[in-house]
Amino acid sequence: MDSSQDKNLPATGRRLEQARDEGQVARSKELTNLVVLGVGFAVVVSMFALGTATMLDGLRNLLRFDHASLLRGDLMTRNLQQGLTGGLMVVLPLGGFLMMLGVGATIAAGGWTLSFKPVMPDLAKLDPLAGLGRIFSKQQLFEVSKLVALTGIIGGIGWMYLSAHLVDFTSLLLGPLDAGLIRMGEWLTSGIAMLLSVVLVTAGIDVPMQKFLYLQRLRMSHEEVKQEHKETDGNPQLKGRMRAMAREMANRNSIAQVPKADMVVMNPTHYAVAIQYDDTTMSAPRVIAKGADLLAFRIKEVAKDSQVPVLQSPMLARALYAHAELNTEIPAALYTAVAQVLAYVYQVKAAMQGKGRMPQAQPDPQVPPELDPHHPSSQRTAQPENAE
């Protein structure tokens, strides 16, 4: 099994996609905190005047005690209910808005992903050694360091702020309630602004760091990359067999094209190739069907039933079968040989229609020896029938 030191290659696109499917994405909690606190702070500041007035009115109603209160024993209870209802009508919509904002910020930071794998039972997570590895990982060390630093910074800022305003805080008890609430709101606003500045700096560090740690965690070894390429591209032997099967299937389907051929060239025991040529639409003859062994005999039968000429030319049949693909033009090196055979076929057809003399003998087409897979000078070592 590869150690972490061996994983020095960046994650491939497929590895990143698999990680996302498993619910692993680079997310920064500090960015979400910054968005929620920042927008919430902006909303509170914009509604500060209205909120303060509403709070003062509610406090006045709650703290009012006069002769009518003595006559109605339930007045204090009703005022308390109204105050709580008014407070909830302010707090609940704001809380719901901030909750949706937090979800939206989380999705925007790492994208939307739905996976149940992180919550599925995994016995591997019970391994003590693996647990220790996770505790002392780069991710956890960074999170602990960040938490300690944030605690120290926020604690220091809070201590300095309270020390500087301690006397002002105690003086609130001596002043009127309206002025005290306004003054308290101003202090809270300045304090939250200082807190947001700390969160802003932390998010600026945390976002790229989370991305870096995420990519580090997904780094791959050479063996993993090779295995992924093998799984993606497929096993070469299996791909070869699949291509051979696809060619065989295409060859079988091409039998339906045999009646359109001008001639069929055969090796009596192995190969058959059907050739079509139309000088008005084609620049060179095309192979429209080919086969070996039983498929070759089937092509021969269909050709005879369709009155397509069948010629015995072993070298040409082998060369065409080996080097010409279905529905493509024949190789240029075989133009002369095929032209010789086609000329013979056209002469035979013309003679049968009474338009000329029957040729004396079938020509021996000139096939380059290196194109014949059975010729000793051929460099081809893989015989087509061996792939069958």
Statement to judge: residues 138 and 255 lie in one domain? no
Statement to judge: residues 77 and 204 lie in one domain? yes
Give residue 125's pLDDT. 57
Statement to judge: residues 149 and 250 lie in one domain? no
Give residue 274's pLDDT. 92
Q: Are 261 and 274 in contact (CB under 8 A)?
A: yes
Q: Would 15 be classed as within a structural domain?
A: no
Statement to judge: residues 295 and 206 lie in one domain? no
Statement to judge: residues 118 and 206 lie in one domain? yes
Return the bridge partners of 126, or none: none
Statement to judge: residues 191 and 251 lie in one domain? no
What's the CA gap between 297 and 235, in Å, rounded?
A: 33
Statement to judge: residues 200 and 264 lie in one domain? no
Q: Are 27 and 206 in contact (CB under 8 A)?
A: no
pLDDT digits (tens, 9 = 90+) for 255-297: 888 899 989 999 877 899 999 988 888 888 999 998 888 888 8
Q: Would 11 be classed as within a structural domain?
A: no
Q: What is Dmax (Cα atoms) for the chain? A: 138
Q: Would 103 be classed as within a structural domain?
A: yes
Q: Would 20 be classed as within a structural domain?
A: no
Give per-10-residue mean pLDDT for the chain (388 aa): 61 77 74 78 72 68 64 67 71 76 69 56 58 66 82 84 75 69 74 82 84 83 79 64 72 81 86 89 89 87 90 90 88 89 87 79 84 68 40
3-state secondary structure 170-190: HHHHHCCHHHHHHHHHHHHHH
Q: Would 236 be classed as within a structural domain?
A: no
Statement to judge: residues 181 and 294 lie in one domain? no
Listing from the earlier edge strand, what are the strands of the sheet with 271-276?
310-312, 263-266, 271-276, 286-292, 328-329
Statement to judge: residues 158 and 79 lie in one domain? yes
- CATH number, domain of 313, equals 3.40.1690.10
Q: Are 113 and 25 in contact (CB under 8 A)?
A: yes
What's the CA gap between 146 and 140, in Å, rounded?
A: 10
Number of domains in the chain: 2
Give residue 110's pLDDT. 58
Copy the structure tokens of residue 64: 């009012």
Statement to judge: residues 182 and 291 lie in one domain? no
Return the bridge partners of 9, or none: 220
Radius of gyration of the chain (CA): 43
CA distance readout (Å), 120 to 25, 110, 144, 379: 17, 21, 26, 58
Q: Would 18 be classed as within a structural domain?
A: no
Statement to judge: residues 69 and 212 lie in one domain? yes
What's the CA gap between 160 and 195, in Å, rounded?
A: 13
3-state secondary structure the chain: CCCHHHCCECCCHHHHHHHHHCCCCCCCHHHHHHHHHHHHHHHHHHCHHHHHHHHHHHHHHHHCCCHHHHHCCCHHHHHHHHHHHHHHHHHHHHHHHHHHHHHHHHHHHHCCCCCCHHHCCCHHHHCHHHHHHHHCCHHHHHHHHHHHHHHHHHHHHHHHHHHHHHHHHHHHHHCCHHHHHHHHHHHHHHHHHHHHHHHHHHHHHHHHHHHHHHHHHCCECHHHHHHHHHHHHCCHHHHHHHHHHHHHHHHHHHHHHHHHCCEEEECCCCEEEEEECCCCCCCCCEEEEEEECHHHHHHHHHHHHCCCCEEECHHHHHHHHHHCCCCEECCHHHHHHHHHHHHHHHHHHHHHCCCCCCCCCCCCCCCCHHHCCCCCCCCCCCCHHHHC
Statement to judge: residues 210 and 247 lie in one domain? no
Q: 302 is in which domain, residue-wise?
A: 241-387
Evaluate if pTM is beyond 0.75: no
Q: Would 229 be classed as within a structural domain?
A: no
Q: Would 72 be classed as within a structural domain?
A: yes
